[in-house]
Amino acid sequence: MMIVWDSASWLLALLSFLLVRHEFMLSERVWVIAWTYVLVAVVLQLLGGFASHLYLGRSKVGSFDEVTALGQLVIAISLVLGATFYIVGPLFSRGLAFVMPALAFLFMAAGRWVFRVARQRDRRRNGTSTGAPALIYGAGDAGHQLAALVDGSADSPYEIVGFIDDDPRLRFLRVRGYRLLGRGSDLLRAADATGAEVVVLAVSQASPRLIQAVSDRCTEAGLELVVVPPLREMISGRLELDTLRAFNVADLLGRRPVETDLSEIAQHIGGKVVLVTGAGGSIGSELARQVHQLGPAKLILLDRDESALHATQLSIDGNGLLDTEDTVLCDIRDKDAVCAVFSRLAPEVVFHAAALKHLPMLERFPEEGWKTNVLGTLNVLECAATNGVQHFVNISSDKAADATSVLGQTKRVAERLTAWYAAQSGLHFLSVRFGNVLGSRGSVLETFRAQIERGGPVTVTDAEVSRFFMTIPEACELVLQASAIGRPGDVLILDMGMPVRIIDVARRLIEESGKDVAVTFTGLRDGEKLHEVLLSSVETGCPTVHPLITQVSVPHVRPSDVIARHVDDVHASHTRDTHSIDRIDIAGLGLAASAGQAATGRSSR
């Protein structure tokens, strides 16, 4: 059919041109030239069409790719014939050479358009779709792709009943014949009018606020919410019906694509001996898995938890025997043991992820936080500096900015110690600061799920408390990128997007569970902030070559001052309450008094 139509298009083009331009009043010689031109053009059309596979299923009929290839073929034919006939035919009409190929192409394209429209209407008329009636929220590229997929699928799970979009300029838009039924505020009215059962959020860069607002409306109306996944979750960036999934708590983080320069990271890691402390933890284990994929000469996993080490090794290479020197059981509080590891295994790159991280526990036992997060980090830093480590990355926390808790203060001191070693040695020692990691061991996500499983209640400190969140793989990708672009002494801050309200996370998990679970508010705990920040009030972030990474500088602190402060605090502890937070007097290191800061955190309620 295409061959016949394309051949006929050249004939129709000739007749149209001669009618409009010459009213068929031509000499016999010109008639012969015109008919010869058409016949040769048809022959070249067929030869070129088969040679380029245009008539052998190269592209979908009527697709942009097919029409583009068709246009290129017609242009080539017009150039060849125009030049040839101009040379050999002195009576050849130049208008014929310029106008007729364009008319032929228009007829060919029009035929394909009619074919596609007829096929689409036939599918809709004769279709036996049992898909759920769905409103598509978003009339952009993702919405157009989704409509094309639904129309082209014989067993689509959805039957589109209309579109919703917040752009007022699109109020008269039709997407493949589907009407735009209003803006986001009209969602419930449109769903009621069309009988929609599903809302598909087809916004490629939806903000957490928009996602939560749409989710709330769907919950109110009893509608199922389905989302188009972020680009990084799609195969080759193409949307497919089977990639659509139910809205989940990770969508509350937004859909910022993380782009990492793998070549730069691979050059930084590949062929090197890499040590990961805290390799049994959520961040340490994911870092180890990602480092392993970059081809290090040796990957050393260090942790004080033998079971966690076993799980990490098993996830990397399937070997859980723990009988090789690349798994090290060691407590970073033990300086001699740490230095023995560095001396024996000679790591060149270190990712320091070992830490105590539970804020309320460290408020009760501040010296334990000091021993691990400060003195333990100091041990690792000193052993690294004296054993030729060229790159050292200290994993920090957003709680180090305007620290109001023992966790934040100890992490702040660790950042300053790292900066001091970088300044003294000139080595590539730096810190990376980010917020909460969604799904990490002991995280709020894990806690809420356990509470829901028990039947509740789910405990939230405050209705307005918010936190920054990242997924574990995203955080580790950016840590690796930061380690490659950071300068000695830098504190690199990962862009966490918009903060998410904890109550929204709790409600989303309860909805996913399908259970009727209550939420209770317990009040902010000592040292806890209502809203976290990534930069302190005295810090100014500077952009880096990566759009999701910001650099700040922190004042150095000498290890001798840290040791002296610890000795004084241990001596003073004999005359104070064993569990007093004042026992760790980090004020002497240039930070506000711990107890005073904790009070500030409580007053923010």
Q: pLDDT tens-digit profile of 262-276?
A: 777 888 899 999 999
Burial class from Cβ neighbours inside 10 Å (0-12, 13-18, 19+) for residue 77 reads buried
Residue ranges per structural domain of the chain: 2-124, 132-247, 262-603
Alpha helices in 255-387 (DSSP H): 262-269, 282-293, 306-317, 335-345, 359-364, 366-369, 377-386
What CA–CA distance (Å, rounded) separates 40 from 126? Answer: 42
Q: Is 502 helix (H, G, I), strand (E, B) or coil?
A: helix
Residue 583 has pLDDT above 50, yes or no: no
The residue among 77 and 250 whose pLDDT is bigger is 77
Structure tokens at 471: 């997924």
Residue 161 has pLDDT above 90, yes or no: yes
Residue 371 has pLDDT above 50, yes or no: yes
At residue 106, φ and ψ (nearest 5 deg) are -65, -40
Question: Is-contact 108 6, C-beta < 8 A?
Answer: yes
Closest to 312 (Cα-Cα) out of 258, 354, 361? 354
Beta strands in 541-583 (DSSP E): 542-543, 549-552
The residue among 508 and 47 whose pLDDT is bigger is 47
pLDDT of residue 600: 35
Residue 457 has pLDDT above 90, yes or no: yes
- 132-247 and 262-603: same fold? yes
Confidence of residue 568 (pLDDT cuts 50, 70, 90): low
Q: Does domain 262-603 have CATH number 3.40.50.720?
A: yes
The answer to whether the bond into 296 is cis (omega within 30° of 0) is no
- What mean pLDDT comes out for the span 341-351? 97
pLDDT of residue 258: 65
- What mean pLDDT comes out for the span 338-348? 97
Residue 571 has pLDDT above 70, yes or no: no
**Reported pTM:** 0.67
Question: Is-contact 307 281, C-beta < 8 A?
Answer: no
What CA–CA distance (Å, rounded) separates 417 from 375? Answer: 10
Residue 604 has pLDDT above 60, yes or no: no
Q: Mean of the per-residue pLDDT values for the chain?
A: 85
Would you list the DSSP string of 429-485?
EEEEEE-EEET-TT-HHHHHHHHHHTT-PEEES-TT-EE-EEEHHHHHHHHHHHHHH
Structure tokens at 426: 């000139």
- What mean pLDDT comes out for the span 543-571? 84
The residue among 382 and 122 whose pLDDT is bigger is 382
Question: Is-contact 54 73, C-beta < 8 A?
Answer: yes
CATH number for the domain whose boundaries are 132-247 = 3.40.50.720
- What mean pLDDT comes out for the span 5-12? 91
- What mean pLDDT comes out for the span 493-511? 87
Structure tokens at 290: 């990602």
pLDDT of residue 256: 58
Q: Which amino acid is at 83?
A: A
What CA–CA distance (Å, rounded) separates 294 from 274? Answer: 11
What CA–CA distance (Å, rounded) separates 586 from 302? Answer: 28
